[in-house]
Structure 1
Amino acid sequence: MTVLVAGSTGFVGRRLCPELVDAGHEVRAMTRHPESYQGSGVPVGADVADVNSLRTAMADCTAAYYLVHSLAETDFERRDAEAARNFGRAAAAAGVQRVIYLGGLGEDNDDLSAHLRSRREVEGLLAAGGVPVTTLRAGIIVGHGGISWEITRQLVEHLPAMITPRWVRTRTQPIAVDDVVRYLVGVLAEPDTAGRTFEIGGPDVLEYVDMLRRVARIEGRPLVVVPVPLLSPRLSSLWLSLVTDVDTTTGRTLVDSMSNEVVVHDTSIRDFVPFEPLSYADAVLQALGERAKASHAS
């Protein structure tokens, strides 16, 4: 089938496109700069802020993936809402049969961060156009180039000892990026997943501090963690921007979300896409290996 991928050049999208091509689909890689696109699929120029460009890009598409977010912007909630509204309307106008969206884990009855609330809002706005939306909700995605993973890796590699805020005790269920892609490709082949929401994660439920310690152990690095309960979200984000290459705005957005537990409670996705996801340790090794390969190639 013909499939559009919005966010084709992003962390997940650039991995998803070649897998869709390998699965036999005709892929349209949506980008604002088609002239410089070098990934899998056929590049098509479109912008989520321009409904007409979206309709043209989606013409004759059976399905469309939505992998877009604006974390680096201070008004990301407004931007993401507008983009999702445009995408849902354009999909309906173009006759797209289903949309597949990668969202975020988190309990609806929890006091969700602005980031996670925005992810929920996007789910509804995509569906408001009338096209069935399949949502995959994930927590931290482990893979070379992923923001959350890069924060983890860089903290471990730059600081043999660190003071940490309360959020290091929050539980999460990390998942390897290759497993996320496997789920994204898999649900497309299952018509019964249309219009449903699924939770995806790896086999390990860990506190953030455990994730840091496991990475340190895998890399053979010393790590002393000293919790500081009064370290505010603002100071936490400034701290992250000082010791990692994540900008303060993105850091603050992610830090706010780290107070929310993000674990899988519904495993029904495995009824449709059955496989054994990688452990956290194996996902880390894979991410480090990909980084080493990229560094060697450059």
Structure 2
Amino acid sequence: MPTAVLRAAIVVGAGSASFEMLRHVTERLPVLPAPDWVRTRVQPVALVDVVTALVGCATLPAEVSRAFDVAGPDVMNYAELVQRYAAVAGLGRRRFLPVPIRSAALAAVGIDLLTPVSRDLARSLVESLANTVVAGEDDLAGLIGSPPRLGFEDAVRAALAG
């Protein structure tokens, strides 16, 4: 059976677990603990762009069966992601306190208390923060067309608008 798999970093949209973590932690903490993964690069993608890609996959020829990267136009590290979210949300600059601890379990407890994301899901997401997630290809656009992609700030505005 032909299958198209979409791979994405943070999906920026209301209800996305990664986005809700970013949103609630940034809104509630003016000073954030900063393990070394805050320098990890990521390429977030707007929810509307993921939906466009999903709809486009329905039109793929049957012989196309593979994984595709879906990503927005902006590449940044997690510290920049937090600062850019804070700016759009009108929160002011966030500060980072370097910490030597990289415990996903400990971070998951805090995230569970601050966000609607469950401890188990938070732990999995935190464990993934050490991995650079930048698109390696844009092949899907060649097959379904390439609509303009929302930049990070516009994606955040859309998510906050509901």
Same topology, TM > 0.5: yes
Task: Please list the CA deviations of residues 181-235 of structure 1 after superposition, one character each: whole Å capped at 9, or x if unmatched.
Answer: 1011112113167212211100001111111100111122131111213242221
Give the equivalent residue in structure 1 for 2:13: 143
Give the equivalent residue in structure 1 for 2:148: 276
1:286 and 2:130 correspond? no
Runs of 4+ in structure 1 deviating by more than 6 angstroms, as ranges, are none
> RCO greater where, 1 or 2, for CA within 8 Å and sep 6 or more?
2
Q: Residue 212 of structure 1 aligns to which amino acid in structure 2?
A: V
Give the equivalent residue in structure 1 for 2:27: 157
Shift of 1:166: 2.1
Aligned equivalents of 2:152 and 2:47: distance in 1? Answer: 11
Aligned equivalents of 1:137 and 1:162: distance in 2? Answer: 28
Task: Please list the CA deviations of residues 259-291 of structure 1 after superposition, one character each: whole Å capped at 9, or x if unmatched.
Answer: 11111011111111221210001000000001x
1:205 and 2:75 correspond? yes
Aligned-partner SS, 1:230: coil
Aligned-partner SS, 2:50: helix
Note closer, same or farther for the CA distance 1:193–1:165 as it changes in structure 2 (3 Å cut). farther
User: TM-score when scaled to structure 2?
Assistant: 0.92
Aligned-partner SS, 1:201: coil
Aligned equivalents of 1:232 and 1:196: distance in 2? Answer: 34
Note closer, same or farther for the CA distance 1:216–1:193 as it changes in structure 2 (3 Å cut). farther
Aligned equivalents of 1:229 and 1:283: distance in 2? Answer: 32
1:165–1:236 CA contact under 8 A, matched in 2: no
One of 98, 103, 106 as aligned partner of 1:227 = 98
Identity of counterpart residues, as a percentage? Answer: 38
Rg larger in 1 or in 2? 1
Aligned residues, how many? 160
Once the two structures are overlaid, the 10-residue window that deviates more, 185-194 or 164-173, is: 185-194
Aligned equivalents of 1:185 and 1:193: distance in 2? Answer: 17
Task: Please list the CA deviations of residues 144-163 of structure 1 after superposition, one character each: whole Å capped at 9, or x if unmatched.
Answer: 11110000010111111121
Aligned equivalents of 1:253 and 1:268: distance in 2? Answer: 28
Aligned equivalents of 2:53 and 2:62: distance in 1? Answer: 14
Structure 1: 5+ residue stretches without partners: 1-130, 291-298
Aligned equivalents of 2:118 and 2:125: distance in 1? Answer: 11
Task: Please list the CA deviations of residues 61-84 of structure 1 after superposition, one character each: whole Å capped at 9, or x if unmatched.
Answer: xxxxxxxxxxxxxxxxxxxxxxxx
Aligned-partner SS, 1:185: helix
1:183 and 2:53 correspond? yes
Q: How does 1:31-42 map to 2 (within 5 A)?
A: none
Q: Residue 198 of structure 1 aligns to which amino acid in structure 2?
A: F
Q: Residue 160 of structure 2 aligns to which amino acid in structure 1?
A: L
Root-mean-square deviation over aligned CA pairs:
1.4
User: TM-score when scaled to structure 1?
Assistant: 0.51
1:239 and 2:71 correspond? no
